[in-house]
Structure 1
Amino acid sequence: MSYKSIIVNLTVDASPAPIVKLAAELAERFGAHLVGLAAADVPPLVATGDGMVYEGEIMQIQRTEIEKRLAVLRAEFERLVPTSITSEWGQAVCSPTRFLGVSARAADLIVTSEAGDNVFRAVDIGSLVLGAGRPVLVVTNNVDHDLAKTVLVAWKDTREARRALTDALPLLAKANEVIVATIDTDRDVRNSLADVAVFLEHHGIMPRTELIAGEADGDNLLSFARSAGADLIVSGAYGHSRLREWAFGGVTRTLIEASGVNRFMSN
């Protein structure tokens, strides 16, 4: 298994260089085709404190500004991607989450940066993971291009965690160290760590397993990841509702809101 088509999402308000360089390195590592995408939307008509509304002329100005920014991002993407990698570009003036979700049907992996507060200009990571049907790699703003040297697999015996483990196999196979850890107190889940280790060994990956002491929450997981020197956390995500979080209970929310750590999530 490998990634043969990778989408990299460029946020309109961030520098494109770090994430494009990382995505290009991944594409080179796996011999993948690289698709650069960027989108932003014009906010709908809203009333101001003076009773005014944003009307057609103002909305057109905003649209023009977005289109200019998208053109800049395209030029940067094409400049930064080596000629040894096949690539293409796509852009739209629409919801970045919707545009990326629709485009995901043509990719094995989605690479995006940490979310912003403006849903018209940045991807909603939770909605993307829930709806894309593809694994999502969320990279930090100061990401090291040599990604996935030490990978922490956050294990819980659920469909989502199993899916994430399988989706991450290409990255795990190239990691220097793979740690499969659980903070679940259920004996059967702890016993399942041995089965996961055997599964990975069949793929030529020799992991170590860990039981994380303490509370079963996201902060505990992040603390363990830092102490282990992990530069990537692999985890399952929600079930059928954003109110039902299956990866360590509330860990999904914590990982989505976290910063300073790379996260690989599948649903």
Structure 2
Amino acid sequence: MSYKTIIVNLAVDANPTPIVKLAAELARRFEAHLIGLAAADVPPLVATDNGLVYEGEVMQIQRTEIEKRLAELREDFERLVPASISSEWVQYICGPTRALGLVARSADLIVTGEGGENVFRALDIASLVLGAGRPVLVAASNAEHVLGKTVLVAWKDSKEARRALSDSLPFLAKANEVVVATIQADSGQDVRNELADVAVFLEQHGIAARTEVIIGDADGDRLVAFARSIHADLIVSGAYGHSRLREWAFGGVTRTLIGESGINRLLSN
């Protein structure tokens, strides 16, 4: 298994250089086609002295500004991606989360930096991970590389963790060290047998892995601290959440990983 097509999201309000360099390096490593994407939308309402109203002229000015920014990002993408890498550019006048959801059907991996709260200009990582049906690599802040020399797989006996494990095989196959760890209140034989089964699965894919039981309650900070203790630069995890009244509710580990900007994370649902 390999990633044959990678999408990289360029946020309209961020410096594109780090994320494009990171994605281009991944495309080179996996011999993948790289799709650069940028999107932003015009809010349907604008604030005036009379409150929130529809203002056609203001909306057209904002649209023109967005189109100018997208053109700048395209120039940056085409300048930063080496000619030796197969690539293309797409852009949308719509929210970036929706745009990525549309393009995701043609890709194996989505690469992005941090998200934001402005749904018209910033990515909602939670919605993307739970709705795209593709693994999402969320790069550490300003990271230009995902070395993946030591990869931590956060294991939980669930469909999300199994999906994340399969989705991350290309990274695991190139890692120097793979650690499969689970957070449990105790390290009973059943838990160790479960981890041993995962190690056997990876071995069948030519990947050697060691296993660890982190004693304690499931906690995202504990997982991140363990990742740092083994010098992992990539955490692989299933994403656990659901929507209630159009708001995402997450387990503690997923919530921490989405908000953690100091390490690269590969999330799958």
Give the shorter-chain TM-score range: over 0.9
Report the CA distance between 1:261 and its aligned residue.
Answer: 1.2
> 2 CA distance for matches of 1:52 and 1:33?
43
Determine which of 202, 227, 231 is the counterpart of 1:200: 202
Question: Structure 1 stretches of 5 or more lacking a match?
Answer: none
> 2 CA distance for matches of 1:244 and 1:154?
20
Report the CA distance between 1:144 and its aligned residue.
Answer: 4.3
> 1 CA distance for matches of 2:126 and 2:228?
23
The Cα offsets for residues 79-120 of structure 1, whole Å up to 9 and x where unpaired, read as: 111111111100011010000011000000000111122121
> 2 CA distance for matches of 1:112 and 1:82?
19
CA contact (8 A) 1:163 1:236 kept: yes
Question: Structure 2 stretches of 5 or more lacking a match?
Answer: none
- Kindly report structure 1 stretches of 4+ aligned residues shifted beyond 2 Å: 46-54, 184-191, 238-245
Spell out the pairing of 1:94-133 with structure 2 (5 A cutoff): 94-133=94-133
TM-score, structure 2 normalization? 0.93
Between structures 1 and 2, the one with greater strand share: 2
Q: Which residue type is aligned with residue 227 of structure 1?
A: S
The Cα offsets for residues 57-87 of structure 1, whole Å up to 9 and x where unpaired, read as: 1111111111000000001101111111111
Q: Which residue type is aligned with residue 211 of structure 1?
A: V
Number of residue pairs aligned between Structure 1 and Structure 2: 264
> 2 CA distance for matches of 1:131 and 1:92?
19
CA contact (8 A) 1:2 1:30 kept: yes
> 2 CA distance for matches of 1:207 and 1:110?
25
> 2 CA distance for matches of 1:198 and 1:225?
22
The Cα offsets for residues 190-241 of structure 1, whole Å up to 9 and x where unpaired, read as: 4210011111111111111111123311111111111111111000012554
TM-score, structure 1 normalization? 0.94
Spell out the pairing of 1:39-50 with structure 2 (5 A cutoff): 39-48=39-48, 50=50
> 1 CA distance for matches of 2:255 and 2:212?
22
Aligned to 1:224: 226
* Matched-pair identity in %: 75
Structure 2 CA distance for partners of 1:209 and 1:144, relative to 1, 3 Å: farther
